[in-house]
Amino acid sequence: MKPQWDQTIKLPSKNYVCGHCNESIAEEDGYVGGYRDHRGSMRTSFIYICHFCGGPTYFDENEFQFPGSKFGENVRHINNASIEALYDEARSCFSVSAFTSSVICCRKLLMNISVAEGAKEGEAFAFYVNFLNDNGHIPKNGKKWVDSIRKLGNEANHSISLKTKDEAKLILTFTAMLLKFIYEMPGMLGNADD
């Protein structure tokens, strides 16, 4: 059951993707708030209420959205709860502009997927890319893009530089493709009528 919000007002219509349910919406119900910053300038922010799920989304005067929408496709038929949760965590990190954390989660997914598919735990991350490739879990000519998950994840984990939104989008896209190849497509076949 979605929450009910009392005394909402009509706001200027706003198009956005809800960070709670990931639906694309145009909304005008919500709340407006104002405050004076440290310089005495008036600042205005808005809270819009999603008409699908009832979740509140905050927009500041610079149009920063919280929670932001999750980037990356939903992947069906993942039969391992920790892999599904870690992919969702990577997407959730992206939604709050934690791009470095999102990339690190995707790197960790390589290990989790490999171990779930039979690899030994505690190996170097390059081992897991090779394991996935050597055991047919990566499509032909796909090793390079899967290895980019590892490489950018290593940079995020072992250097002080932060990862960008574009880098996180790229890695989430590659991760979704890998998950679809390993879980969703075989799962769809398993549910197909003979």
Question: pLDDT per residue over 114-154, tens digit each?
Answer: 999 999 999 988 898 889 989 999 888 888 887 778 777 76
Q: Which amino acid is at 135?
A: N
Q: Which residue has the higher pLDDT, 86 or 95?
A: 86
| Contact in structure between 115 and 100 (CB atoms under 8 Å) | no
| Contact in structure between 172 and 147 (CB atoms under 8 Å) | no
Q: Tell me, what DSSP letter sits at residue 61?
A: T
- 147: helix, strand or coil: helix
CA-nearest of 127, 42, 117, 36 to 83 is: 117
**What local confidence, expressed as pLDDT, does residue 26 receive?**
92
Q: Average pLDDT in the 167-192 region?
A: 87
- 168: helix, strand or coil: helix
Question: pLDDT per residue over 7-21, tens digit each?
Answer: 999 999 999 999 888
Average pLDDT of the chain is: 88
**What local confidence, expressed as pLDDT, does residue 22 receive?**
85
**What local confidence, expressed as pLDDT, does residue 41 receive?**
86
Return the number of other C-beta atoms located less than 10 Å from residue 90's C-beta.
27
